[in-house]
Structure 1
Protein backbone atom coordinates (compact mmCIF):
# COMPACT_ATOMS: atom_id res chain seq x y z
CA UNK A 1 0.00 0.00 0.00
CA UNK A 2 1.21 3.48 -0.88
CA UNK A 3 0.36 6.15 1.69
CA UNK A 4 0.90 9.77 0.72
CA UNK A 5 1.91 12.06 3.58
CA UNK A 6 0.98 15.73 3.80
CA UNK A 7 2.39 17.93 6.57
CA UNK A 8 0.96 21.23 7.71
CA UNK A 9 3.11 24.35 7.33
CA UNK A 10 4.41 24.08 10.89
CA UNK A 11 3.43 27.54 12.13
CA UNK A 12 2.46 26.29 15.60
CA UNK A 13 3.64 22.67 16.03
CA UNK A 14 3.08 21.20 19.48
CA UNK A 15 5.04 18.02 18.82
CA UNK A 16 7.72 16.74 16.45
CA UNK A 17 5.70 15.78 13.37
CA UNK A 18 8.65 14.19 11.60
CA UNK A 19 9.37 12.01 14.61
CA UNK A 20 5.71 10.99 14.73
CA UNK A 21 5.92 9.84 11.10
CA UNK A 22 9.09 7.89 11.87
CA UNK A 23 7.28 6.11 14.74
CA UNK A 24 4.42 5.24 12.41
CA UNK A 25 6.84 3.95 9.76
CA UNK A 26 8.59 1.82 12.38
CA UNK A 27 5.30 0.14 13.29
CA UNK A 28 4.10 -0.27 9.69
CA UNK A 29 7.16 -1.46 7.79
CA UNK A 30 5.11 -2.93 4.93
CA UNK A 31 3.51 0.44 4.04
CA UNK A 32 5.22 2.66 1.48
CA UNK A 33 5.05 6.20 2.91
CA UNK A 34 5.77 8.90 0.32
CA UNK A 35 5.38 12.66 0.16
CA UNK A 36 1.93 13.30 -1.28
CA UNK A 37 2.08 14.49 -4.88
CA UNK A 38 -0.65 16.20 -6.87
CA UNK A 39 -1.78 14.25 -9.90
CA UNK A 40 -0.66 10.94 -8.39
CA UNK A 41 -3.13 8.38 -7.04
CA UNK A 42 -2.33 7.25 -3.50
CA UNK A 43 -4.01 4.37 -1.76
CA UNK A 44 -4.35 6.50 1.36
CA UNK A 45 -3.42 10.02 2.47
CA UNK A 46 -2.09 10.83 5.94
CA UNK A 47 -2.36 14.49 6.92
CA UNK A 48 -0.05 15.36 9.82
CA UNK A 49 -0.99 18.64 11.48
CA UNK A 50 1.03 20.23 14.26
CA UNK A 51 -1.88 21.54 16.34
CA UNK A 52 -5.63 21.10 16.72
CA UNK A 53 -6.32 23.30 13.67
CA UNK A 54 -4.85 20.60 11.40
CA UNK A 55 -5.14 23.16 8.62
CA UNK A 56 -3.09 21.49 5.87
CA UNK A 57 -5.05 21.44 2.62
CA UNK A 58 -5.50 18.04 1.00
CA UNK A 59 -8.36 18.32 -1.50
CA UNK A 60 -5.84 18.44 -4.35
CA UNK A 61 -4.73 14.84 -3.69
CA UNK A 62 -6.44 11.72 -5.04
CA UNK A 63 -6.84 8.58 -2.95
CA UNK A 64 -8.46 5.18 -3.27
CA UNK A 65 -9.18 4.67 0.45
CA UNK A 66 -9.56 8.17 1.85
CA UNK A 67 -7.79 10.52 4.23
CA UNK A 68 -6.57 10.09 7.80
CA UNK A 69 -5.75 13.16 9.90
CA UNK A 70 -3.68 13.53 13.05
CA UNK A 71 -2.73 16.61 15.08
CA UNK A 72 -1.22 15.17 18.26
CA UNK A 73 1.41 12.56 19.04
CA UNK A 74 -1.20 10.63 21.03
CA UNK A 75 -2.86 9.80 17.69
CA UNK A 76 0.00 7.56 16.53
CA UNK A 77 -1.55 4.29 17.75
CA UNK A 78 -4.97 5.16 16.29
CA UNK A 79 -3.42 6.06 12.95
CA UNK A 80 -1.45 2.80 12.86
CA UNK A 81 -4.59 0.81 13.67
CA UNK A 82 -6.61 2.58 10.97
CA UNK A 83 -3.92 2.10 8.33
CA UNK A 84 -3.61 -1.60 9.19
CA UNK A 85 -7.38 -2.03 8.82
CA UNK A 86 -7.26 -0.50 5.34
CA UNK A 87 -4.22 -2.50 4.22
Structure 2
Protein backbone atom coordinates (compact mmCIF):
# COMPACT_ATOMS: atom_id res chain seq x y z
CA UNK A 1 0.00 0.00 0.00
CA UNK A 2 1.22 3.49 -0.87
CA UNK A 3 0.40 6.16 1.72
CA UNK A 4 0.90 9.77 0.71
CA UNK A 5 2.01 12.05 3.53
CA UNK A 6 1.22 15.75 3.82
CA UNK A 7 2.69 17.92 6.58
CA UNK A 8 1.34 21.29 7.66
CA UNK A 9 3.53 24.35 7.25
CA UNK A 10 4.67 24.22 10.88
CA UNK A 11 3.68 27.74 11.94
CA UNK A 12 2.59 26.61 15.43
CA UNK A 13 3.82 23.05 16.04
CA UNK A 14 3.00 21.76 19.51
CA UNK A 15 4.97 18.51 19.10
CA UNK A 16 7.75 17.12 16.92
CA UNK A 17 5.81 16.10 13.79
CA UNK A 18 8.84 14.47 12.17
CA UNK A 19 9.50 12.33 15.22
CA UNK A 20 5.83 11.29 15.35
CA UNK A 21 6.00 10.29 11.68
CA UNK A 22 9.16 8.25 12.34
CA UNK A 23 7.33 6.42 15.13
CA UNK A 24 4.50 5.59 12.74
CA UNK A 25 6.94 4.32 10.10
CA UNK A 26 8.74 2.21 12.72
CA UNK A 27 5.48 0.59 13.77
CA UNK A 28 4.24 -0.06 10.21
CA UNK A 29 7.04 -1.48 8.08
CA UNK A 30 5.00 -2.84 5.17
CA UNK A 31 3.51 0.45 3.97
CA UNK A 32 5.27 2.64 1.42
CA UNK A 33 5.10 6.17 2.87
CA UNK A 34 5.77 8.81 0.22
CA UNK A 35 5.42 12.57 -0.08
CA UNK A 36 1.93 13.28 -1.36
CA UNK A 37 2.04 14.38 -4.99
CA UNK A 38 -0.75 16.02 -6.96
CA UNK A 39 -2.02 13.98 -9.90
CA UNK A 40 -0.67 10.72 -8.47
CA UNK A 41 -3.25 8.42 -6.86
CA UNK A 42 -2.39 7.25 -3.35
CA UNK A 43 -4.03 4.35 -1.57
CA UNK A 44 -4.30 6.48 1.56
CA UNK A 45 -3.39 10.01 2.60
CA UNK A 46 -1.93 10.91 6.01
CA UNK A 47 -2.13 14.59 6.97
CA UNK A 48 0.18 15.52 9.85
CA UNK A 49 -0.75 18.81 11.46
CA UNK A 50 1.24 20.48 14.22
CA UNK A 51 -1.68 21.84 16.24
CA UNK A 52 -5.42 21.37 16.64
CA UNK A 53 -6.11 23.58 13.59
CA UNK A 54 -4.66 20.83 11.35
CA UNK A 55 -5.01 23.33 8.51
CA UNK A 56 -2.86 21.63 5.87
CA UNK A 57 -4.79 21.49 2.62
CA UNK A 58 -5.20 18.06 1.07
CA UNK A 59 -8.15 18.30 -1.31
CA UNK A 60 -5.80 18.44 -4.30
CA UNK A 61 -4.56 14.88 -3.69
CA UNK A 62 -6.17 11.70 -5.02
CA UNK A 63 -6.81 8.89 -2.56
CA UNK A 64 -8.51 5.53 -2.94
CA UNK A 65 -9.12 4.80 0.75
CA UNK A 66 -9.57 8.19 2.35
CA UNK A 67 -7.67 10.63 4.53
CA UNK A 68 -6.32 10.22 8.05
CA UNK A 69 -5.52 13.38 10.02
CA UNK A 70 -3.45 13.83 13.15
CA UNK A 71 -2.52 16.97 15.11
CA UNK A 72 -1.16 15.56 18.37
CA UNK A 73 1.43 12.93 19.25
CA UNK A 74 -1.25 11.08 21.22
CA UNK A 75 -2.82 10.20 17.86
CA UNK A 76 0.06 7.91 16.82
CA UNK A 77 -1.55 4.68 18.02
CA UNK A 78 -4.91 5.56 16.47
CA UNK A 79 -3.25 6.38 13.16
CA UNK A 80 -1.31 3.10 13.20
CA UNK A 81 -4.50 1.17 13.95
CA UNK A 82 -6.38 2.91 11.14
CA UNK A 83 -3.59 2.34 8.62
CA UNK A 84 -3.43 -1.34 9.57
CA UNK A 85 -7.20 -1.66 9.08
CA UNK A 86 -7.02 -0.01 5.66
CA UNK A 87 -4.25 -2.27 4.37
CA UNK A 88 -6.07 -5.51 5.24
| Same fold per superposition (TM over 0.5) | yes
Query: Greater strand percent: which structure?
Result: 1
Q: What residue ranges of structure 2 are gaps of 5+ in the alignment?
A: none
For 1:31 and 1:25, the matched residues in 2 are separated by 8
Q: Report the equivalent of 1:82.
A: 82
Q: State the aligned residue count.
A: 87
Describe how 1:1-87 pairs up with structure 2 within 5 A: 1-87=1-87
Deviation by residue 1:19-73 (Cα, 9 ceiling, x = unmatched)? 0000000000000000000000000000000000000000000000000000000
* Rounded Cα–Cα distance in structure 1 between residues aligned with 2:11 and 2:77: 24
Mark the runs of 5 or more structure 1 residues left unpaired by the alignment.
none
Q: Tell me the CA shift for residue 11 of structure 1.
A: 0.1
Distance 1:6 1:79 in 2: 14
TM-score under structure 1 length normalisation: 0.99
